[in-house]
Amino acid sequence: MNKITIIGSINLDTTLRVSNMPKPGETLHAKEHFTAGGGKGANQAVAAKRSGADTYFIGAIGKDGAGQMMSELLEYEEIDTSAVEVLESQSTGQAFITVDDSGENSIMIFSGANNAFTPEHVEKSQEIIKKSDFLIAQFESSLDSTVAAFKVAKKNQVRTILNPAPARTDIPQDLLATTDIIVPNETEAELITGIKVTDNESLKEAADYFHNIGIKAVIITLGSKGAYYDIDGGKSGIVPAFKVNAVDTTAAGDTFIGAMSTVLKADFSNIIEAITYGSRASSITVQRYGAQPSIPYKNELV
């Protein structure tokens, strides 16, 4: 199994289950309320660790109760948190999630400490990055720090995986230039490329856009339809999703990326098998409630 380092967000999630999403001005009674570990970065780290990877985390929490809880949760998972900085002047990131009966969610994020750690912090974590097989990042934390981390990875032949979520258009060219694998969903792919992804032809066009800026491998997740993959100068296709009844899609994409990266080879030669593995993990996650509590273990994926 691979050595995976994640740079990114650590959030404490508060989830409310409702029958339907509230309309503006509408008050609803929630069916259930619970608090659990979350944050795209932390979710991906938990997915990688539970899938069997040696997992390291670079990020930040506040010196507060939420930070203490998240630190304990990551340590319980046996994720190396030596590069997680505690910032006294910041609050730990939090997410507030509403999930309806169809499993769809609406999420509001308070970034807090996630946006406060710096490239200097990354500088202190170089040795962790250097010994990794893959470095994974998302857009819930400081972009400057992510760019710095990807540059360290590139210099040391460590493969980089960028999950461009939440979607944004102001992606630094330095970041894209040091990205080996990009994993957007359809909406994120359209926002970045300007190409509306509707069929195989537009998927190929979007992939070519990424290849033309130097990204070797493109994986566009398609929800219940599966995932499209395209290796520059190599194979492409769609890996179908597992058919399940979803109750909560909150950590589906994070689980997919974390699990997939655990088994993916650096030359992408087993990309179909890796996507299938990630898809299997994600299909289990969406059948359970909560972000990290829903992520499956390796023995559930065989």
With tokens 């258009």, the residue in question is: 169
With tokens 């040391």, the residue in question is: 156
Query: Is residue 222 a known part of a binding site?
Result: yes
Query: Is residue 179 a known part of a binding site?
Result: no
Tell me the three state secondary structure of residue 20: coil
Query: Is residue 115 a known part of a binding site?
Result: no
Query: Is residue 43 a known part of a binding site?
Result: yes
Query: Is residue 52 a known part of a binding site?
Result: no
Query: Is residue 254 a known part of a binding site?
Result: yes
Q: Based on the residue annotation, tell me whether 254 is a catalytic residue of this protein.
A: yes
Query: Is residue 8 a known part of a binding site?
Result: no
With residue 132 as reference, give the H or E element that holds it: none
Q: How would you classify the pairing of strands 217-221 and 181-182?
A: parallel
Helix residue ranges per DSSP H, the chain = 40-50, 65-76, 119-124, 126-130, 143-155, 173-177, 186-193, 200-212, 252-263, 271-285
Query: Is residue 151 a known part of a binding site?
Result: no
| Under 8 Å between Cβ of 262 and 3 | no
Euclidean distance between CA atoms 32 and 202, whole angstroms: 41
User: 35 phi and psi, to 5 degrees?
Assistant: -120, 135
Q: Could you say which of 54, 100, 180, 254 is catalytic?
A: 254
Query: Is residue 40 a known part of a binding site?
Result: yes
Annotated binding site for substrate: which residue ranges?
A: 11-13, 39-43, 140, 254
Annotated binding site: which residue ranges?
A: 11-13, 39-43, 140, 185, 221-226, 248, 250, 253-254, 285, 288, 290, 294
Annotated binding site for K(+): which residue ranges?
A: 248, 250, 285, 288, 290, 294
Annotated binding site for ATP: which residue ranges?
A: 185, 221-226, 253-254
Point out the residues that are catalytic: 254
